[in-house]
Amino acid sequence: MVRIASTCHTFPAIVWPGSIRSAAHASHSFRGNRFVLKHILRLPAAPGEPRVDQTPPEARTSRRRLRACHECDWLVALPPLRPGQKADCPRCGHTLATRHHQPAQRSMALAMAAMVALLLAISFPFASFSVSGLGNRIELTETATTLIGFHQPLVGIAVILTIVVLPAIYLLGVIWLQLGLLQDEPLPASRTIARTLSHLHPWMMTDVFIIGALVSLFKVAGMAEVDLGLSFWAFCVFAVLLLLTTQSIDSDWMWFSLAGEPLAPEGVRTGRTAASQGLSGCPTCGLVNRLDAMGRGHCQRCGERLHARAPHSLQRTWALLATAALMYLPANLYPIMTTTSLGQSSPSTIIGGVVELIQMGSWPVAAVIFVASVIVPVGKLVALAWLCLVAERSAELNPVNRTRLYRLTEFIGRWSMVDVFVVAILVALIRAGSLMAITPGPAALAFAAVVVLTMLAAMTFDPRLIWDTPPPRDSHHTQGMSG
């Protein structure tokens, strides 16, 4: 059974388990290590009827469309979905597909509006401050260029990538894809762009930057007069529109419209794991593919590399966690920024900055910084380490709760960038000579590395390991005795 959820109610849809016999298959060949797709099943819409919106994937095919859950590997058949409904995995609750009203027009309009807001945000002043007749005014991009001027190029590049460059690439990709679908003819490189969008999504942090900007302005408000420019409000609108754009992408419908859906492999049974049948669901387009004898392959629709389980998942996660833990020490021991006031400099660490905010009476701001910069990184390190330790104890611990913990660590990791954005904004804004100035400290780079490393650790951890049942310990002992 696949759970179908709508905005109004939730009800089950019956999916009959059994063999799936394919009448035809997309033929393919290998040239060296390169996968060459020769034929893809395309189901055209009725004459005179546009292919977008009016004909969702389930309305254009008489066969079941299989999906393997990316988090628990459970193989199910997608039921027909109406606009506003979504299909969740019956085993772990992960969302398999979401159907939207008029997906192409909706995503196109939101992406274009977001691009206009971004252009406004980078074209006008972002914020200004003044104290004792001296002041400074900055634009959005100066939050990155100023860091580069203070010999922090890696942090500056990370800031401009996450708040401007990657979101702009994402929006342009959405516009390119939806424009081709609205014209009933996908534009060149559409599949490559569609693959790229799914990889860009975790690294866009405009919403985190807004929180960082608000924290920065609260800190400055106690020392000087602060004015918000048109760019600030335009960026707030941009962040909201970007969020709505990412939520409007109907990935299942988009991939079906771009490249159809090749027939499922023969002999497939739902209600079982994909790996037990030599299959793997593509994490990018969702198509279920047959793997080779080594448990590897390529998606025949989008070309993504596939594995029964991510190779060396636990080892890579442990390595990234260990590196992040090492970087977390200098991130807290060294100053993250130095404040100069009337010629006197006072460096402050992350914890020192929290204490100063508490002494100033800014309890809410101090709480935000403490949670984002201390609780979240430490909690994520501990949670991922525990998940790695108990990954092979699926029979003893509740996999549903561990999957929820994994989702939480994946969601909260990016919010630790708040402190990095606070430093970027304050360094660019507070520049009034010896009267008042803020410079970045060595901890800024170390802390940014912690955020990136923990995010990569969550990405390399394969949540399907949580659901794999290890062989009984007695069987290992018996095999050892027989050997």
First-to-last C-alpha distance (Å) of the chain: 43
Q: Is 99 exposed, middle or buried (0-12, 13-18, 19+ CB in 10 A)?
A: buried
Locate 399 and state its tokens.
């996999």
**Ramachandran class of 19: left when φ > 0, alpha when ψ lies in -120 to 50, beta otherwise:** beta
What are the sequence ranges of the domains in the chain?
2-99+268-307, 104-250+312-466
The reported pLDDT for the residue numbered 22 is: 31
Rounded percentage of the chain residues whose pLDDT exceeds 90 = 41
The 10s digit of each residue's pLDDT in 36-64 is 333 333 344 444 444 444 466 766 555 66
Among 17-26, 64-73, 101-110, 462-471, the least confident range: 17-26
Angle at 253 between CA 252 and CA 254, to 5 degrees: 95
What is the distance between the alpha carbons of residues 341 and 433, in angstroms, rounded to a whole number? 9
Question: 199: how many CB neighbours lie within 10 A of its CB?
Answer: 12
Rounded mean pLDDT of the chain?
81
Locate 23 and state its tokens.
């009448």
Maximum distance among all Cα pairs of the chain, rounded to whole angstroms: 86
Cβ atoms of residues 67 and 76 within 8 Å: yes
The 10s digit of each residue's pLDDT in 285-297 is 889 999 988 888 9
Question: 162: how many CB neighbours lie within 10 A of its CB?
Answer: 21
Angle at 408 between CA 405 and CA 410, to 5 degrees: 110
What is the distance between the alpha carbons of residues 391 and 402, in angstroms, rounded to a whole number? 9
The 10s digit of each residue's pLDDT in 428-440 is 888 766 677 888 9
Of 321, 309, 232, 249, the C-alpha closest to 103 is 249
Q: Which residues, at least 6 apart from 476, have a Cβ–Cβ distance to it below 8 Å?
A: none
State the sign of the Cα–Cα–Cα–Cα dihedral 52, 54, 60, 64: positive
pLDDT tier for residue 9 given thresholds of 50, 70 and 90: very low
What is the distance between the alpha carbons of residues 203 and 170, in angstroms, rounded to a whole number? 11
Cβ atoms of residues 203 and 161 within 8 Å: yes
The reported pLDDT for the residue numbered 363 is: 82
In this predicted structure, the answer to whether residue 162 has a pLDDT above a threshold of 70 is yes
For residues 159-186, average pLDDT? 93
Locate 381 and state its tokens.
């390190």
Of 329, 298, 312, 339, the C-alpha closest to 431 is 339
The reported pLDDT for the residue numbered 475 is: 40
For residues 162-172, average pLDDT? 96
Cβ atoms of residues 217 and 127 within 8 Å: yes
Cβ atoms of residues 439 and 427 within 8 Å: yes
In this predicted structure, the answer to whether residue 220 has a pLDDT above a threshold of 50 is yes
Map the chain to HEC letters: CEEEEECCCEEEECCCCCEECCCCCCCEEEECCEEEECCCCCCCCCCCCCCCCCCCHHHCCCCCEEEECCCCCEEEEECCCCCCEEEECCCCCCEEEECCCCHHHHHHHHHHHHHHHHHHHCCCEEEEEEECCEEEEEECCHHHHHHHHCCCHHHHHHHHHHHHHHHHHHHHHHHHHHHHHHCCCCCCCHHHHHHHHHHHHHHCCHHHHHHHHHHHHHHHHCCCEEEECHHHHHHHHHHHHHHHHHHHCCHHHHHHHHHCCCCCCCCEECCCECHHHCEEECCCCCCEEECCCCCEEECCCCCCEEECCCCCHHHHHHHHHHHHHHHHHHHHHCCCEEEEECCEEEEECHHHHHHHHHHCCCHHHHHHHHHHHHHHHHHHHHHHHHHHHCCCCCCCCCHHHHHHHHHHHHHHHHHHHHHHHHHHHHHHHCEECCCEEEEECCHHHHHHHHHHHHHHHHHHCCCHHHHCCCCCHHHHHHHHHHC
Angle at 204 between CA 87 and CA 244, to 5 degrees: 50
In this predicted structure, the answer to whether residue 191 has a pLDDT above a threshold of 50 is yes
The 10s digit of each residue's pLDDT in 357-406 is 788 777 888 888 888 888 999 999 999 999 999 887 765 678 888 999 99
Cβ atoms of residues 334 and 442 within 8 Å: yes
Rounded percentage of the chain residues whose pLDDT exceeds 70 = 82
In this predicted structure, the answer to whether residue 31 has a pLDDT above a threshold of 50 is no
The reported pLDDT for the residue numbered 434 is: 65
What is the distance between the alpha carbons of residues 323 and 449, in angstroms, rounded to a whole number? 9
